[in-house]
Amino acid sequence: MNAIEVSHLSKRFGALTALDDISFSVSEGETFGFLGPNGAGKTTTIRILTGISYPTSGTATIFGHDIGRDTIAARQSMGIVSETSNVYDDLTAWQNMIFSAELYHVGRYEREKKATELLTTFDLYERRNDKVHGFSKGMKRRLTIAMGLVNSPRLLFLDEPTSGLDVQSNLIIRDVITGLIHEGVTVFLTTHNIEEANLMCDRVAIVNRGIIAAIDAPERLKNTIQSVQSVVVSFDHSSAQQLDEIHHLSMVNDAIKEGDKFRLYTEDPATVIESVMAYAHTRNLRVTSISTLGPSLEDVFIRLTGLQRTGGAIHAID
């Protein structure tokens, strides 16, 4: 049985079509990523799959339970981590955990055990008796995720789990999610962070304007645009006009500056390497490193969504 089965789902808000006839399925144990820019329809999809919002048309089932007709059964096995860290500021971390457990009918003994365990994992146990009011953004995020796990869900919805967080919180969160994946928990994750999708997901759906542009494993998505390759080069001196000059070398389709390196997009890396070496020679520059790269998930993403590359690399499209 599939963990999630979505069939011809559409959602309109007045004149705006937020989701346009999307279909996909997620099998049990899979980590499935919904990757797309802001406004793509990621949160709308999660709200429908968790039964908070209703589709305009189409159906969705969770472990075989229709989310519209068999809502309570469908929800019992899911954990939900929403985009905003929706914790109760006037309750303590502990009270938040217990409240969440009570909503999911977790028994008294089990919920205290689970709350202790999760607060420890998320490095919040020492602060368990403090009101959440004074917590940092990262702490609230961690608490939100801990609350989503208190019923030991088989399916976890994560809406942008690590967006805009500090490094420590990010590391803990990624670690925990990786652990859950090992335990066989199905994870549905939305993100606009391409690297996150690439690292964590078995399969990724690229969504834009309510449409799924492609669904596949990250590596297979990259293979679909093998023609986009790149040469990464760095010189011993760099100056402002270099980017413009190498942009105009033969066979270079696009050039961007990535830190102290330049990345040149091409269909013909061999020719580009030759012309870069020649360019270095005429300008009296030494090439300190040069390598060729296949397409990144970001390239696939940009190709499929038609987004523009703006200056540096677009790792997170904020």
Instruction: Output the smallest distance, CB 42 to Mg ion, in A.
Output: 5
Q: Which residues contact Mg ion (rule: CB under 5 A)?
A: 42-43, 83
- Name the binder of 27 from ligand ADP, Mg ion, another protein, none, CB < 5-8 A by kind: none
Q: How far is the CB of 234 from ligand ADP (least distance, A)?
A: 36
Is residue 88 within the footprint of another protein (CB under 8 A)?
yes
15 is a site residue for ligand ADP (CB under 6 A): no
If one asks whether residue 204 binds ligand ADP (CB under 6 A), the answer comes out as no
DSSP characters for the chain? -EEEEEEEEEEEETTEEEEEEEEEEEETT-EEEEE--TTSSHHHHHHHHTTSS--SEEEEEETTEETTTSHHHHHHTEEEE-SS----TTSBHHHHHHHHHHHTT--HHHHHHHHHHHHHHTT-GGGTTSBGGG--HHHHHHHHHHHHTTT--SEEEEESTTTT--HHHHHHHHHHHHHHHHTT-EEEEEESBHHHHHHH-SEEEEEETTEEEEEE-HHHHHHTTTT-EEEEEEESS--TTHHHHHHTSTT--EEEEETTEEEEEES-HHHHHHHHHHHHHHTT--EEEEEEE---HHHHHHHHH-PPP-SS--SB--
| Residue 229: CB minimum distance to another protein, A | 43
Q: Judged by CB under 6 A, does residue 194 bind ligand ADP?
A: no
Tokens read off for 116: 């202790």
- Of the residues 41, 55, 138, 295, which one makes contact with ligand ADP according to CB under 6 A: 41
133 binds another protein (CB under 8 A): no
Closest to another protein by CB, 154 or 303 = 154
Q: Judged by CB under 8 A, which of 10, 17, 53, 59 binds another protein?
A: 53
Residue 16 found at the interface with ligand ADP (CB under 6 A): yes
Among 8, 38, 54, 315, binds another protein (CB under 8 A): 54
Q: Residue 238, interface with another protein (CB under 8 A)?
A: no
- Token readout for 199 is 């690292």
Q: Which of 57, 64, 90, 309 binds another protein (CB under 8 A)?
A: 90
CA dist 226 → 157, 230, 286, 294 (Å):
32, 10, 30, 7
Please identify, among the stretches 35-43, 177-185, 269-277, 302-310, the one whose residues bind ligand ADP according to the rule CB under 6 A.
Answer: 35-43
Residues in the chain: 318
CB-wise, 41 or 269, nearer to Mg ion?
A: 41
With CB under 5 to 8 Å by kind, the binding choice for 36 among Mg ion, another protein, ligand ADP, none is: ligand ADP
Give the separation between CA 156 and CA 258, rounded to whole angstroms. 35
End-to-end CA distance of the chain: 36
At its nearest, how many Å lie between another protein and the CB of residue 277? 56
Task: Tell me which of 38, 129, 168, 239 binds ligand ADP, using CB under 6 A.
Answer: 38
With respect to ligand ADP, which residue has the nearer C-beta, 33 or 295?
33
Which residues make up the interface to another protein (CB under 8 A)? 13, 50-54, 71-73, 75-76, 80, 82, 84, 86-91, 95, 99-100, 102-105
Which residues make up the interface to ligand ADP (CB under 6 A)? 13, 16, 18, 36, 38-44
